Amino acid sequence: MTSTGLEWRHYGPSPLPPVLASALDRFAEQGYHGTSTRELAAGAGLSVPGLYHHYRSKQDILMALMVAVMEELLARTEAALASAGDSPVERFDALVESMLRFHMFRQREAFVASSEIRSLEPANRKRYVALRDRQQRMIDEVVVAGARDGYFATPYPADAARGIATLCIGVASWFRMDGPLSVDQVLERQLVLARDLVAARS
């Protein structure tokens, strides 16, 4: 347990409430525009009027789902950093491990949050992007601090930080729990690649 109260390496079932769990299933399979409100209601065991008791529209459901996904990612990242202490290298490893774990254990959530940003209305997109930018700033801060203090040799810390985000997010597109590599093997390999991106000094 970390100072934030979250065991960031532990993943149980998704904590989404029934309506958002139904939305995740449908949006992952059919996309936002290919899913009807009636299907969302049925998946949650509700009537359409019952669904509207909880959410005003399908757009509100999408936004609530995407915010829930980003808030879990942010909470786990913050918990990982809090557990790592002050060493830039330890903070970097914890941050990367946390993001990799999230994109392996929450693949469908990560997929929907990434692919359906195009379906958000402008005000919702702005709010969601602000959350995504907050996550990127945590990566930026760790990489910049490591470069400043001589732990990372990259001459391009901002570019390296964006590369780290891309590497971690990309895992969700190819990792399979029943695939040839275990979670620990993927973590080990991807951490090597992440350290190469920042030119971590041995």
Tell me what pLDDT residue 202 has: 73
pTM of the prediction? 0.93
Q: What is the DSSP letter of 172?
A: G
CA separation, residue 169 to residues 3, 68, 102, 115 (Å): 26, 17, 9, 12
What b-and-e string marks burial along 24-33, b requiring 16 or more CB atoms within 10 Å of the CB? bbbbbeeebe
Q: Give the integer Cα–Cα distance in Å for 97 and 194.
A: 10
The rounded mean pLDDT for the chain is: 94
Percent of the chain whose pLDDT exceeds 70: 98
CATH says 59-198 is which class? Answer: mainly alpha
pLDDT tens-digit map of 51-97: 999 999 999 999 999 999 999 999 999 999 999 988 899 999 999 99
Domain boundaries along the sequence of the chain: 59-198
Q: Is the pLDDT at 4 greater than 90, yes or no?
A: no
Chain centre distance of CA 120 = 17
pLDDT tens-digit map of 177-190: 999 999 999 999 99
